[in-house]
Amino acid sequence: MATIELKVFRVSSNTNSFGLYGHWLMDRVGRFWTVGFGQYHKKKMGDVVVVPVENGEPRFETLCGEIPGRRVPDAPPAVVIEVWGGLVPYLTQWLWDKACEEAGVDRASKFVVFDYKDPWAKMLNHCTTELFNLQTPREGEE
């Protein structure tokens, strides 16, 4: 049977009228669901659960989850990155190559300036600085 990995990125601090804690779970591409779990099956923030998939839908009842709901629209890539704790390596490489191509710079350059009005550029700058140990140029440096 096929499975899907979902990461718990939010858990309610109180229960609904049925005694269920609300959980928000996201897959690696940004699809996310809300699911209720009782006190004996409550998950923690950051837990990764593997859920069987049948006919394209996660079967939360196999984990004692109740009242599942698919949320739309999907989360944007920056949120997926934040929830999963960093970029997947191939995505990182793709973003870096694309950003350098659009900026017209050599991808091996240690100094790349992006248009900071674009939210993707802000994320790319953070990623390149943090993940690749690259330096942000000081004003006047090229």
- The span from the CA of 97 to the CA of 18, in Å, is 50
Query: Rounded mean pLDDT of the chain?
Result: 75
* CB within 8 Å of 19: residues ≥ 6 apart: 38, 39
Predicted local confidence at residue 71, as pLDDT: 83
- Segments in the chain below pLDDT 70: 86-100, 102-142
Name the 3-class secondary structure at 127: helix
Predicted local confidence at residue 127, as pLDDT: 53
Predicted local confidence at residue 140, as pLDDT: 54
DSSP character at residue 141: -
pTM summary value:
0.60
Q: Could you give the C-alpha distances from 88 to 22, 52, 69, 136, 140, in angstroms and in order?
A: 27, 23, 26, 22, 33
Q: Which residues pair with 21 in a beta bridge?
A: 15, 37
